[in-house]
Amino acid sequence: MTAPIYQVEGLVIDLYTPTVSVRAVDGAGFHVAPGETLAIVGESGSGKTVMTLGPLGLLPEGVAVDLRGTARADGKDILAMSPAELSRLRGGFFGVIFQDPMSALNPMLKIGPQLAEQARRFAGLSAAEACKEAVSLLARSGIPDPEDRYDRYPHELSGGMLQRAMIALALAARPRVLIADEPTTALDATVQAQILALIRQIQKEDGIAVILITHDIGAVSVLADRVAVLYAGQVAEEGSAIDVLTAPVHPYTRGLLASVPDFRSDSASGTKEIPGIPPNQAQLEAGCRFADRCDRVQPQCNTRRPRLQTVGMGVVPHRVACPVVIAAEGIVTHD
């Protein structure tokens, strides 16, 4: 297994707005290696975006962020960086694809020149080379007639084309880590598969690390090497995609998979939603965050916060934060 290129540990992120304060991320961590795709799944509001973009300083202005933990990019502590250093890292080391390309691309700026500028600043190309590179990036992202699209404004492209442009923009600086935050959620169903295929192709060709935030379990099964399941700002379960998808242990993961239509052949009996709603993250309680909704809940769940334990014998550690199921099902742990 290659060493991680981006690694986050013990991350705690508190968000403050004039009206609310929430602990959006509560001691979570993840890591991703070159050539690897990590999927981060969880219900909306579980902290996927904040956990992934928070350490990069990419949370929207207007909310105050208090952030603790460690985050290392290529061995460097990014939380200790100066704003200027972090800016350079954001531009060159990370490439980010956002959920809604219609709002994530500046309506007043043409597509192509932005790509060219990234290529010039971060890939060290001359202006003329950068312009060519931009056109070829657009072509590579599956945009037909890229010379024409180069001079287009976002409103002149369809949602699917815009997301391709967004991908091209993220790649222009030749990043080492590509972060895609629900890259298909805002798109038509027909386009979603194409965008995922594009991300997979890029990953294969460039061997970069990919962090895919999604709640599309189908996408996880196709793209991901590893999966981290996030619940209420904590990692409930993580491991290889095969382990987590075919042998989930945490009741939340099991519920999440059971709620996916036709994911497993034996779920033909119909899908079931996990009953209840995620906890109010403004109120922190001891114990398991999932306790209110868990069908396996035991009295001790409300007092002791479960920690991640390694289960199984796989090369990729499979870790689960639920002592109750581990004990009840006689699952061997080793750590």
Partner 1 sequence: MQRMFMRRVGLALLLMLAATALTFWLVTAAPGNVAALIAERAAGAGADGEMIAKIADDLGLNDPLPLRYARWLGDALTGDFGISLRTGKPMAEEFGERIPMTLALLTGGGVLALVLSLAMGIAGAASNGGGIDRVLHGMALVGASTPNFFVAAMLVIVFSVWLGWVPTFGVSGLTSWLLPWITIALFPASVLARVVRVNLQDTMSRPFATTGFAKGLTRGAVLLREALPNIAIPYMTTFGAQFTLMIIGAIVVERVFGLNGVGAFFIEAIRFRDFIGMQATLTLFVVFFVSINLIVDLLAMLADPRLRRPRKA
Q: How far apart are CA 319 and CA 332, in angstroms?
A: 11
**Residue from 1, 18, 60, 299 that binds ligand ADP (CB under 6 A)?**
60
Q: How far apart are CA 210 and CA 53, in angstroms?
A: 14
Q: Which residues contact residue 284 at a Cβ distance below 8 angstroms, ignoring those fewer than 6 apart?
A: 23, 26
Using CB under 8 A as the binding rule, whether residue 82 contacts partner 1 is answered as no
Using CB under 6 A as the binding rule, whether residue 125 contacts ligand SF4 is answered as no
Closer of 37 and 141 to ligand ADP (Cβ): 37
Q: Which residues contact residue 329 at a Cβ distance below 8 angstroms, ignoring those fewer than 6 apart?
A: 249
Least distance in angstroms from the C-beta of 27 to Mg ion: 19
Using CB under 6 A as the binding rule, whether residue 24 contacts ligand ADP is answered as yes
Site for ligand SF4 in 87-106 (CB under 6 A): none
The SS3 assignment for 31 reads: strand
**Residue from 49, 118, 163, 240 that binds Mg ion (CB under 5 A)?**
49
Residue keyed to tokens 């909310």: 63
Least distance in angstroms from the C-beta of 304 to Mg ion: 29
What is the 8-class DSSP label of residue 30? E
Using CB under 8 A as the binding rule, whether residue 103 contacts partner 1 is answered as yes
Please identify, among the stretches 23-31, 32-40, 134-142, 287-295, the one whose residues bind ligand SF4 according to the rule CB under 6 A: 287-295
Using CB under 6 A as the binding rule, whether residue 278 contacts ligand SF4 is answered as no
Least distance in angstroms from the C-beta of 228 to ligand SF4: 16
Least distance in angstroms from the C-beta of 262 to ligand ADP: 24
Longest dimension (CA), the chain: 67
Are the CB atoms for 111 and 150 separated by under 8 Å? yes
Taking the CA of residue 203 as centre, how many other CA atoms within 13 Å lie in the half-sphere pointing to its CB?
A: 25
Using CB under 6 A as the binding rule, whether residue 324 contacts ligand SF4 is answered as yes
Using CB under 6 A as the binding rule, whether residue 18 contacts ligand ADP is answered as no
Least distance in angstroms from the C-beta of 230 to ligand ADP: 7
Closer of 149 and 289 to ligand SF4 (Cβ): 289
Least distance in angstroms from the C-beta of 135 to partner 1: 18
Q: Which of 171, 184, 259 is nearest to 222 (CA)?
A: 184
Q: Which of 304, 335, 301 is nearest to 317 (CA)?
A: 335
Closer of 51 and 199 to ligand ADP (Cβ): 51
Least distance in angstroms from the C-beta of 54 to Mg ion: 11
Q: Which of 133, 216, 132 is nearest to 174 (CA)?
A: 133
Token pair for 161: 């084309």
Site for partner 1 in 56-75 (CB under 8 A): 56-62
| Number of residues in contact with ligand SF4 under rule CB under 6 A | 14
Closer of 37 and 214 to Mg ion (Cβ): 214
Q: Report how far apart, in Å, the C-alpha atoms of 95 and of each of 88, 200, 208 are.
A: 12, 15, 10
The CA-based angle 179-180-182, given to 5 degrees, is 145
Residue keyed to tokens 């490439």: 95
> Which residues in this chain contact partner 1 in the complex, by CB under 8 A?
53, 56-62, 83-84, 87-92, 94-96, 98, 100, 103-109, 114, 117-118, 121-122, 153, 155-156, 166, 169-170, 173
